[in-house]
Chains A and B, each alone.
Chain A
Amino acid sequence: MSSGTLALLCTHAPLVGCFGALVVLRRAPRAAAALNILAMLASLGAALAIFAGSNHQPPTIISLWLSSEGVPISFGFLLDGTNQLMGIIVALIALCIQVYSLGYMKGDPGYARYFGLHGLFAWAMLSFVYSANLLQAFVFWELVGLASFLLIGFWFEKPSAAAAAKKAFVMTRIGDVGMFIGLILLLSSTSTLDIAQLMQASTLASIPDARLTLIALLLFCGVVGKSAQFPLHTWLPDAMEGPTPVSALLHSATMVAAGVFLYARFHPLFVAAEGVSNIVLVIAIITAILAATIAMVQRDMKRVLAYSSISQLAFMLLGLGAGSLYAGVFHLTTHAFFKALLFLCAGAYIHQIGSNDMVTMGRQGAAKLRLVSAGLVIGAAALAGLPPLAGFFSKESILAALHGAHANAFVYGAYLASFLTAYYTFRMVFLVLRPSDKSVLPAEEHEPHPHGDVTGSMKLPIAILTVGAAAAGFAGDFIAKLIGAKALHPTYGEMAPAIGIALAGVIVAFFEFGRKDAAQQGFITRVGALDTLFERKYYLDEIYDKVAGGLVSLIASVSAVVERGVLDGTGDLAGNLTIATGDATARMQSGRLQLYIGSAVLLIVVFCYFVGGY
């Protein structure tokens, strides 16, 4: 089969699964699940088959979508290195999570709908990954947003879930609007949206510098929105309202990585636009530190992992911002594995124990789940960046890239962030695996999820991902060759400080939480103000609601008043005025004959004067 049909199969198999589940098999949940898993298998197979073929084919055009101002915009596939890599990652992790969901979602009334939406997401994500032009990418970028909206709001009866879904959609849309305008400017200045063509140095050079920077910044807005970077990140923690496998798939490994993938995809453009990479680095470093500090004080395991995702995404952007495509993509790949693993472990604990709170989990004997705990430890180690595991190698490459050319403020910031990462990761591990009666239980429970013990179908994906998390580190060179970027091999001298920091983080965490009679209190609690600042997530949610939300609803109520009062008012006023003049003119007919004749003659006299030509 030609690569085009392969790509078509890979992307559209899940669509068939989604349609089957949502419309045809509404009443047969098990069949729907099976159909979707089969579809995922097919698309993984296809993705691998595309990878097996040679990776330097021209983009294949399937059909013409529309033509704007003579520029044909068509639906097609671009199958070069980065796309294939991302395609495999998405397909693999989506498959694992769907298998995992078999067990996790058993007994949920919306079982068929759940798998249908999963199929929808997979279709959108894969088509986005393989899209040949920026417009097609944007179309599926929005569809991915839609899938995330439906999946976050899966348990729509929960008001908080509905609100979270709405918040997610609106915030990502704010980013999308920026990206859309950037896309249009790009189209108007180069009159083509074909990615392969766009990435040629010649086309980039043809765009005037000021406009190129503007386009790059606007596209970066999209990335900030989708990958939950600093200003638009508050929706990701709320997205944890969705089922945990969804959080695992979308809000850690694949969907949020779309932003970073887009940045990687358009790397030449961002590099060409001067001034942009500095801005990217600044945003990334702020996000990394901010997210890490908040993760440090969270009690809910999923929230910790959510903030950790934000922080790690910032790390990827640090790598890309620093100019090394390899560092960013490598970290993206490794992060996909160990973050998915951590979420699945959290899911297993929640499934077994029924509460998100780490302390309760610890108390309820989370440690008894041998495989899951092992996965947790390996995942945590990878996340913290301990040497043999995947995280270490990719984080190293980012630090090496940073060392390269930029002001060392970013380097020190990166070191601080990786220290905090190690700290909060192992704080989580010790809280869960080494419970102690000193820590206080949470006030209320809110996860409505039915309990059940961890089934075999849940254990298998955890096992696979554990292997992935461990082994991914060594795939550095392979990835570099695949995406055609220069691999970075930091020398031992450069690696030393990173390893030291990571170990320091682990030790501090052990000291405060792991030891037998540890205080179970973070060092940050000593500085009360900072603690509450992080606890309240820098009051960002409140600020956004008051400023943005308040402003929009103020303008809205003003325009509603204008609509009711001014516009309708003038309309009704004109109506009543005419009727009033109507009454007045009618009353002119006073019924008195002599007035009639008098006024008639008077008017005739006036006309005579006028006609008589005086």
Chain B
Amino acid sequence: MDAVHPSAWAFVVVALGGALLSVSLRNILHAIFGLALALFGIAGLFLYLGSPFVAAMEVLIYVGGISVAMVFAVMLAYSLGKKEGGSTRRFLAVVPVGGFFGVVGYALLRASFAVTSKTGSWDLKLVGRKLLLDYNVVFEALSVVLLLAIVGAIIIARRDEKTGDDKTADEKAASKGNDAASAEERAS
């Protein structure tokens, strides 16, 4: 069975709808909600693709962590007043995007893949063993990346002492969110 249950199309609609919303809506907050919606759709698709754990992680980190962080960032960078999108120069962007879509799309359609029928076993143990046996170097590297990101984010976003206000709540949340995600992975 080289196809997935047709009900997946529902999640496709949610995903694409969310993405369209986040692109077209002028207000940045609405854009972030659109993104969150799209991420839900994508998580659903992951389920259909036989990896529920990844879908869970997607919901947890992406929707929970990153989108929330963006909302807090928007609250800090409060410049809603600015007019949005619009100018013809924006319209020019369609050329590269359309071109990309056409060229790669055509190549995708023409490409033929040796589709193998598989029962979609998502055996988590297999993923865990491979993660810690084959990709142990990469795993450690990821932890270094996260350390780097946290320390960097704090230092950059920290207001200089001379301006006096302390770190915003959002920053703490954002970094805690990341710690949570990496902790969970290590746990599984």
Query: Which A positions have Cβ atoms within 8 angstroms of B?
Result: 594, 598, 601-602, 604-605, 608-609, 612, 614
Contacts and interface: CB of A to CB of B under 8 A. Distances in A.
7 contacts: A598-B92, A601-B100, A602-B96, A604-B100, A605-B103, A609-B103, A614-B106
Nearest to B93: A598
Interface string B155-168: 00000000000000
A601 B95 CA distance: 10
A602 to B, nearest CB: 4
B96 A612 contact: no
A608 B92 contact: no
Contacts of B99: 602, 605
A612 B107 contact: yes
Nearest to A605: B99
A594 B93 contact: yes
A612 B111 CA distance: 11
Interface centre among B92, B100, B103 (most CB of A within 10 A): B103
Contacts of A608: 100, 103-104, 107
A598 B96 contact: yes
Contacts of A598: 92-93, 95-96
A594 to B, nearest CB: 7
A604 B100 CA distance: 8
Interface in B68-123: 92-93, 95-97, 99-100, 103-104, 106-107
A486 to B, nearest CB: 105
B31 to A, nearest CB: 16
Interface of B: 92-93, 95-97, 99-100, 103-104, 106-107
B108 to A, nearest CB: 11
A427 to B, nearest CB: 102
A580 B93 CA distance: 29
Contacts of B100: 601, 604-605, 608
A594 B89 CA distance: 10
Nearest to B90: A594
Please give me the 10 A-B residue pairs with the lowest Cβ-Cβ distance, nearest first: A605-B99, A601-B96, A602-B96, A608-B103, A612-B107, A605-B100, A609-B103, A598-B96, A605-B103, A598-B93
B96 A605 contact: yes
Given A598-B96, A602-B95, A612-B103, 15 more contacts: A594-B93, A598-B93, A598-B95, A601-B96, A601-B100, A602-B99, A605-B100, A605-B103, A608-B100, A608-B103, A608-B104, A608-B107, A612-B106, A612-B107, A614-B106
A112 B41 CA distance: 114
Contacts of B104: 608
B155 to A, nearest CB: 23
Nearest to B95: A602
Nearest to B107: A612
A601 B100 CA distance: 8
Interface of A: prevailing SS: helix
A608 B108 CA distance: 12
Contacts of A601: 96-97, 100
B110 to A, nearest CB: 9
A26 B133 CA distance: 102
A605 B107 CA distance: 12
A592 to B, nearest CB: 9
Contacts of B97: 601
Contacts of B106: 612, 614
A605 B98 CA distance: 10
A598 B92 CA distance: 9
B134 to A, nearest CB: 31
Contacts of A604: 100
A605 B92 CA distance: 15
Contacts of B93: 594, 598
Contacts of B107: 608, 612
Nearest to A601: B96
Contacts of A605: 96, 99-100, 103
Contacts of A602: 95-96, 99
B90 to A, nearest CB: 9
A614 B110 CA distance: 11
A608 B102 CA distance: 11
B103 to A, nearest CB: 5
A600 to B, nearest CB: 9
A594 B92 CA distance: 11
A609 B97 CA distance: 14
Contacts of B95: 598, 602
A594 B99 CA distance: 17
Nearest to A606: B99
B102 to A, nearest CB: 8
A614 to B, nearest CB: 7
A613 to B, nearest CB: 9
Nearest to A604: B100
Contacts of A612: 103, 106-107
Nearest to A603: B96
Contacts of B92: 598
A348 B92 CA distance: 103
Contacts of B96: 598, 601-602, 605
Contacts of A594: 93
A612 B106 CA distance: 10
A602 B101 CA distance: 11
Interface centre among A594, A601, A605, A609 (most CB of B within 10 A): A605
A612 B104 CA distance: 9
A602 B102 CA distance: 12
A372 B92 CA distance: 109
Nearest to A608: B103
A601 B102 CA distance: 13
A609 B96 CA distance: 12
A609 B105 CA distance: 11
A608 B104 CA distance: 8
A604 B103 CA distance: 10
Nearest to A595: B89
B98 to A, nearest CB: 9
A611 to B, nearest CB: 10
Nearest to A609: B103
B94 to A, nearest CB: 10
Nearest to A614: B106
A110 B100 CA distance: 93
A597 to B, nearest CB: 8
A601 B96 CA distance: 6
Nearest to B97: A601
B6 to A, nearest CB: 31
A594 B97 CA distance: 13
B71 to A, nearest CB: 23
B80 to A, nearest CB: 20
A605 B104 CA distance: 9
A601 B107 CA distance: 17
A601 B93 CA distance: 10
A173 to B, nearest CB: 74
A598 B104 CA distance: 17
Nearest to B98: A605
A481 B110 CA distance: 113
Contacts of B103: 605, 608-609, 612
Interface centre among A594, A604, A608 (most CB of B within 10 A): A608
Interface centre among B92, B96, B97, B99 (most CB of A within 10 A): B96
